[in-house]
Each structure stands twice: as structure tokens, then as C-alpha cells.
């Protein structure tokens, strides 16, 4: 199996509809400020849109990547040597692991607008986290990258 030269790197971006919602927040601010005149209305449109876009961007800018011997998921950094088997979750299984199958001790990098996920066992006996739940658009590719990184360690 040929490994790619670049490590796994995925950005979990916000869906396109959120950008439309950001604009609609700006329109709502403009309508609120309309009685105060044209200039405040334009400032409300620009400010409301910018604020909502920054919020959508910050929520949707998480990354999942493998760098060296570590899996970095959001702000968590886990050595691949502490990871066990991976399970690719389709939309129905991912929903089940987000709801009734979920363990409160698990690490969840959860984005509900991404239907698929990867569940990775944590094998470190000193870590109380039983598994990682990672929302990803490419769960098979992430599982392969984790397996390749574990084999290289």
C-alpha cells in the first residue's frame, strides 16, 4: 500500500446555508435599525452580517489531522499509539452513536451537519475516554490514515 506524501487533513467547514443565515441576520439587524436612519441601517446590515459570519466560521473551522505520531481533532491531541480499532459509521450508525449509544466519557468532535463519522477505540489504560467520535466526511480515508500512522509508530 502506497502512503500519500501529505498527512491526513480535513477541515470541518460550516454548510453553505449558514452563510445565507449570516446574511439574514444582517438583514434583521438592518430592519431593527431602520427607524434610526439610513446610515445606522447600513451599519446594522454590515455589522450583523459580519458578526454572524465570524460566528459561523469559528464554529465550522475545526480540523482533523494526523501530524507525525498524533491525531489532532479540534483542540485534542492524541498519540496514535493510544488508539485501537476504528469503526466507520454511516449516517444511521453515526446518529445512534450521537444519541442512545453515546458514552458520556467519550470524546466527541461532533458536527450534526456532517452525516458520517468514525469511532476510534482508545486503548490507553490511563485514559478514561473509551472512544473518540469524529464527525468526518471521509471516514474510510481517516481510518486508513490512522492505521497507517499506527503501523509507522
Tell me which residue range forms the domain holding 137: 78-152
Q: Which residues pair with 73 in a beta bridge?
A: 64, 76
* 111, 143: one domain: yes
Q: Has residue 94 been placed in a domain?
A: yes
Q: Is the domain of 54 the same as that of 94?
A: no
Is 105:129 a contact under the CB 8 Å cutoff? yes
Please tell me what DSSP assigns to residue 125: T
Same domain, 82 and 55: no
pLDDT of res. 40: 96
**Mean pLDDT, each 10-residue run in order, the chain (153 residues):** 62 89 97 96 97 90 89 92 94 94 93 92 92 95 92 82
- pTM attached to this predicted model: 0.80
Q: What does R_g of the chain's alpha carbons equal in angstroms?
A: 20
Q: Please report, for residues 6, 71, 76, 97, 150, the alpha-carbon distance to residue 68 in angstroms, rounded to integers and kept in the order given.
A: 11, 8, 15, 28, 10
Q: What one-character DSSP code corresponds to residue 68?
A: T
Check whether residue 39 and residue 100 sit in a common domain.
no
Q: Is 7 inside any structural domain?
A: no
Q: Tell me the pairing of strands 131-135 and 107-109.
A: parallel
Please name every residue paired with 88 in a beta bridge, in sequence order, or none if there are none.
118
Regarding whether 85 and 34 lie in a shared domain, the answer is: no
The structural domain count of the chain equals: 2
Q: Are residues 46 and 105 in the same domain?
A: no
pLDDT for 37 equals 96
Residue 118: inside a domain, yes or no?
yes
Closest CA to 66 of 49, 53, 48, 79: 79
How far apart, in Å, are the Cα atoms of 127 and each of 80, 135, 149?
13, 21, 20
Q: What is the pLDDT of residue 61?
A: 80
- Rounded Cα distance, 90 and 104, in Å: 21
Helix (H, G, I), strand (E, B) or coil at 86: strand
Amino acid at each position: 500500500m502506497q502512503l500519500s506524501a501529505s498527512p491526513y487533513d480535513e477541515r470541518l467547514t460550516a454548510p453553505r446555508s449558514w452563510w445565507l443565515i449570516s446574511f439574514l441576520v444582517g438583514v434583521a439587524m438592518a430592519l431593527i435599525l431602520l427607524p434610526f436612519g439610513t446610515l445606522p441601517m447600513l451599519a446594522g446590515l454590515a455589522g450583523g452580517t459580519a458578526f454572524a459570519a465570524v460566528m459561523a466560521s469559528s464554529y465550522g473551522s475545526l480540523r482533523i489531522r494526523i501530524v507525525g505520531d498524533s491525531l489532532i481533532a479540534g483542540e485534542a491531541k492524541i498519540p496514535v499509539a493510544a488508539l485501537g480499532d476504528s469503526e466507520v459509521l454511516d449516517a444511521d450508525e453515526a446518529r445512534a452513536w450521537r444519541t442512545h449509544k453515546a458514552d458520556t466519557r467519550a470524546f466527541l468532535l461532533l458536527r450534526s451537519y456532517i452525516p458520517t463519522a468514525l469511532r476510534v477505540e482508545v486503548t490507553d489504560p490511563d485514559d478514561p475516554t473509551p472512544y473518540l467520535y469524529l464527525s468526518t466526511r471521509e471516514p474510510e480515508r481517516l481510518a486508513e490514515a490512522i492505521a497507517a500512522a499506527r503501523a509507522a509508530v
